[in-house]
Each structure stands twice: as structure tokens, then as C-alpha cells.
Amino acid sequence: MVISEQKLLKWGLVLNASYVLMFFLIRPDGISLLKIAITSLLLFSVLIIFILSIKNKISLRNIPLCSRILFYLLLIWGIITVIRGFSLSLQDWVTNFGNVYMGLAWLVPVAMALGLKLENWNIVYRVIFFVFELMILVFGISLFFNNSYLQWAWLLRPVNLILLLGLNRISLRKKIIVVLTIGILIFVATSVKQRMDLLFLSLTLGLLLLDKIVGIKLRRVLLKYIVAVFILVLIWVFTIGYDYVSNIISSIVDFQDSRTFLFAEIFADLNKTEAIFGRGSLGTYYSDFFERTRRYWIFMGQKGWAGDVPERITVEVGYLQVILKGGLILLILNLLIYFQAIYLALFRSRNKFIKRLGYYILLITMLSLVSFRPAFTPTFIFLWMAIGTVLVKKYRVMNDNEINQMVIFLK
């Protein structure tokens, strides 16, 4: 029996979402049969996405040459980053390929090849709404248990993508599902003080409002200013320092800074060579903040918040995680392809679908400066699919009616 590409893609995405849900519901420790079973969901999803991406590699000829070069360089450097994490330790292998933040995070750009087929977004819609329905059910059940919601937002974040792509062509039932999902996301983010998800949702609604009330010419000007200001902020952060930006924001609005110490610690711990090339997918850094937090916790008789271990394998800020693992080389390669996709989507497209994908890429690009570590999860799979779609010129020159005939929202 031959399984179609779209069915395979559906199962790849469902398995990935199932891994995230099961991992954070059960939270298995160490190496056990249960953890192996849960991790196998992730590995099967990775295998399916890799197979489909390789099968679609011929479609890369439809994107600009410079984009293809960047894509291959990014993949090559990602593979090098993963290889640098190899060791003879079984635990290292489990961590490298069983943790969405480690080795697999630098291979997720292969999903860009999936976005080269516009009809694959029909599968994405089906999977997203299936996950929303599952999350609503699980959330209802979890209210009767003492549960932590910390990473549940990973499966709720695609609601931002659905909002950006529009609700006008979906059924009333699915609109209700979206509203319920937003409610759960706000509840989860508020419960665990996950301000980033509230910011993501707010920025999404802000861009939608901009699209509704501002004329085309003025909107283009405003978007150019938004992109230009962000580029300047990005350059400022990695040259002058994050603390200067934080102080300016704090002087304008009530802003609780929880990121400055991370920037300071990363660049204090990395030497110049490591800052350029990174420390590999299993690279770590020393955190003086968590060293002091852990000492205080022990002094207080192991009461209160213990914090993390001082030798940290991950860092909460997306771009700092990129630098820790793959250095400035990996960061620059990512940013070049991000901004090329943003420019083409926002300023060189004729239809709303591509422009809204550009909004999604822009938001992830901006929020990665303060959060959103790259991971082999739905948020970043959809990001790279979006990049692949907007890079194809024939999709950008389509009008809304032509796009709507290929991307069919479920009723």
C-alpha cells in the first residue's frame, strides 16, 4: 500500500504534537521504557519530515539562487553543530536526539522544503484544529488534577498563525474552537507567568488591526519602519548591549527585565572563537546567577525556588541559544534567510495569504530576541514551511482567488 505524501505529513505533524503533549503531561525522568516510548513519537515525526523534505528537494529550484545557497549553508552548519555534540555516552545521544532543543533544533530548517508545496497548508490546517480539539479536551480533564501548564503553550501557539491567516473562511464550529483555544492560552500563560505568549498574541492582534484600519500605502510604510527599527535594535543589542535597550524600554513603560543577565553571562563565558563557532548542540555555559540561587536554596534548607543548575545546557533567549550552539555564523545565516523571506512576503507579494505568512515570520524573528528558543516543535516547523512558501515567486504573484483555490479551509 502506497501512503500519500499528504497523509505522511499529517502523521508527522500529529506525532510531533503528540510527543509535546505526552512529554509535558507525564514528564518522564532518566532513561526508561516510558521515556523511550514517548521519545519514539518525536523520532518518527522527525523521520517522516526528513523523508518528505528530501523527496521535495527538487522543488528548491523554484526559489531564488541566493535562498538556495543560504538554505544549504544553514543545513550544513546545522549538521556540523549536531556532529560536534557526538560522544560515546548513551545519555548524550538521548539528550542530543531526544530533546527538541538540542540536535534536532538545528535540523528543523529542512521543513522549508515542505512549504514549497502550497497544498501542504491544507494538512497544516487539519492538524492544527485536531490539536486544538485535543488540547481543549485534555485541559478540561487536567482541571481535576494538580498539573503544570508550563510548556502547554507550545501546542496552543499556532492559534496566532490561524488568526493571521484569517477566520472568515472557516465554519462557526472552528471559530468557537479558536476562541476556546485563545482562552486556554491566556489562562495557561497567566497561570505560569509566561508573558511571552501574551505578547505574541497581542502583537498578532496588533498586526491584524493594522491590516484592517490602515491603507495599503501607509501600511507598507509602517511595516518598513517596524522592520528597520527591529534591525537597528538587533544590531544595537549585539554590539552595544542588551542592557541599554532594556533601560530605554523601562523608561517608557513598566517593564520587568528578566533577560539582561542571560546576555551578560553568555558573552562573559564564551571566548571570541566560541562566540563565532558556538559550542555544539550539547554545548553548555556557566551561570553565576543560578550558582548563587542554588547556594541560597541550599542555605535555606532546600526551601523556595532552587532555580536551574549553574552549568546550563540551554538558554531562554532564542538568539542566545543559537549563538551558544552554533555561534554567530548560525545566527547570521538564520537572520539572512528570515529577513529575505520577510521582505519578499510583505513587499513583493500580491495576496493576503503570503503577506500573513510574512507576518508570522516577522513575529517569530522579533520575539526570538527575548524568547522562543529554536526547537523541533510545531511553531518552528510552521515557521520554516512559511519561509519555503513565501520564497516561491509563483505563489507571491498569485491573487487572492488563485491562492484560495489551492489552500482550502475546512468547513
pLDDT at 191: 78
15, 48 contact by CB (below 8 A): yes
The continuous run of DSSP H or E covering 312 comes out as strand 311-312
Place 299 in a pLDDT band, splitting at 50, 70 and 90. Answer: low
* CB neighbour list of residue 221: distance below 8 Å, 6 or more residues apart: none
According to DSSP, the residues that pair with 170 across neighbouring strands are none
User: What's the rounded mean pLDDT across residues 75-84?
Assistant: 95
- What pLDDT is attached to residue 218? 85
pLDDT at 2: 47
The pLDDT, as a whole number, for residue 1 is: 42
Mean pLDDT of all residues in 275-292: 89
Mean pLDDT of 57-82: 93
pLDDT in tens, 207-257: 999 888 877 788 889 999 999 999 998 888 888 776 666 665 555 544 455
Is a pLDDT exceeding 50 seen at residue 75? yes
Kindly state the average pLDDT of the residues 169-174: 86
Mean pLDDT of 328-348: 96
Q: What is the pLDDT of residue 29?
A: 66
The set of residues, in sequence order, having a beta carbon less than 8 Å from that of 29 and lying 6+ positions away, is 35
pLDDT reported for residue 245:
62
Q: What is the pLDDT of residue 251?
A: 52
For the record, the C-alpha cell of 94 comes out as 538521548
Comparison of pLDDT for 147 and 404, the residue scoring more? 404
Q: Of 22, 49, 26, 23, which is closest to residue 104 (Cα–Cα)? A: 49
Pick the range with the lowest mean pLDDT from 176-180, 246-250, 267-271.
246-250
pLDDT for res 116: 94
Provide the CA 239 distance to its chain's centre, in angstroms. Answer: 25
Q: What's the whole-number mean pLDDT along residues 101-130?
A: 93
What is the distance of C-alpha 151 from the center of its chain? 13
pLDDT band at 82 (very low <50, low <70, confident <90, very high): very high
Residue 302, pLDDT > 90, answer no
Q: What percentage of the chain exceeds 70 in pLDDT?
A: 88
pLDDT of res. 257: 56
User: Positive or negative, the Cα torsion across 140, 142, 146, 151?
Assistant: negative
**Residue of higher predicted confidence among 85 and 200:** 200
φ/ψ of 286, rounded to 5, equals -95, 130
Q: How far apart, in whole angstroms, are the C-alpha atoms of residue 52 and residue 77?
A: 21
First and final C-alpha spacing in the chain: 29
Q: Give the C-alpha separation, 67 to 367, whole Å.
A: 23
pLDDT digits (tens, 9 = 90+) for 357-370: 999 999 999 999 98
- H or E stretch including 336? helix 318-347
Domain ranges of the chain: 5-406
Which of residues 296 and 375 earns the better pLDDT score?
A: 375
Strand-pairing partners, residue 311, are 286
* Res 276: pLDDT: 95
Length of the chain in residues, anyone? 411
The residues near 357 (Cβ < 8 Å, ≥ 6 apart) are 164, 165, 345, 386, 389, 390
59: cell is 522543488
Does the pLDDT at position 48 exceed 80? yes
Model confidence band, residue 144 (pLDDT cutoffs 50, 70, 90) = low
Of 323, 273, 265, the closest CA to residue 293 belongs to: 265
- pLDDT computed for residue 169 by the predictor: 78
What pLDDT does residue 242 have? Answer: 67
Confidence of residue 150 (pLDDT cuts 50, 70, 90): low
pLDDT at 382 over 90: yes
The fraction of the chain above a pLDDT of 90, given in percent, is: 49
Least confident of 114-123, 152-161, 221-230: 152-161
What pLDDT is attached to residue 410?
47
Say whether pLDDT at 411 is over 50. Answer: no
